[in-house]
Amino acid sequence: MFITFEGLDFSGKSTQVQLLQERLQREGHNVLVLREPGGTVVGEKIRSILLDAENTQLTEASELFLFEASRSQLVAEVIRPALAQGTIVICDRYYDSTTAYQGYGRGIPLDMISAMNVFASDHLVPTLTFFLDIPLEEIERRIKKANATKDRMELNEREFYERVRNGYLAIAQSERRFSILNGMLSVEEIHSRIWNEIEHQLQCTLTKQNVVKEL
């Protein structure tokens, strides 16, 4: 099973990723948690370039190519081998982030984004994707409360993030694997809703495996 988490920064993705990892491990599953960009030696070097606030001259095309390069390395080097061994893979961001940020946010043609996503991911589609949706006002409040230093991607204007959020919502409406979660709910309630879907998917997978054995 390949599970991805999407959302704007400070939406609570990382917290839910950790909770899901711990729950699955308690249930006896092998779990691998990854992040994009990153997850490999090459990917982490690319991540440092993309998030460095001093790289203000990075073009939109270069940004896109770097995200896709990191993804290609991650899929080939880590994700596919792990899935082949029966490991449940959880990834904090995947190609839906590129569609939302570089497509809807930057305005790069969506058909171009789609083609590059397919190529870089080697056609690997997530089993389930959870999108934590919160208002932009709440994101700003959380950033201020955390007194966090913004990276290069977080330095964009409010209008950019509005386009990204609307992009995520559009993607979610077109993809059956997407589940939109209200990020304003309590951490425990969000985790409970995520677990309900994961548990259902695990049961479906087990049923299919039993059918195959009987055949």
Cα 40 from chain centre:
16
Assigned fold of 2-214: Rossmann fold (3.40.50)
Nearest to 71 by CA among 108, 101, 96, 54: 96
CB 90 within 8 A of CB 3: yes
How many C-beta atoms surround the C-beta of residue 62 within 10 A?
13
CB 78 within 8 A of CB 34: yes
Question: How confident is residue 8, by pLDDT bands cut at 50, 70 and 90?
Answer: very high
CA–CA distances in Å: residue 26 to residues 20, 23, 29, 31, 171? 10, 5, 7, 10, 32
Element (H, E) at 2: strand 2-6
Element (H, E) at 6: strand 2-6
Question: How confident is residue 67, by pLDDT bands cut at 50, 70 and 90?
Answer: very high
**86 CB-contact burial (10 Å; exposed 0-12 / middle 13-18 / buried 19+):** exposed
**pTM of the predicted model as reported, rounded to 2 decimal places:** 0.91
How many C-beta atoms surround the C-beta of residue 41 within 10 A?
9
Return the sign of the alpha-carbon dihedral for residues 31, 209, 207, 210.
negative
Question: How confident is residue 208, by pLDDT bands cut at 50, 70 and 90?
Answer: low
Domain boundaries, the chain: 2-214
pLDDT digits (tens, 9 = 90+) for 127-181: 999 999 999 999 888 888 887 777 777 777 889 999 999 999 999 999 999 999 9
pLDDT digits (tens, 9 = 90+) for 79-136: 999 999 999 999 999 999 999 999 999 999 999 999 999 999 999 999 999 999 999 9
User: What single letter denotes the amino acid at residue 45?
Assistant: K
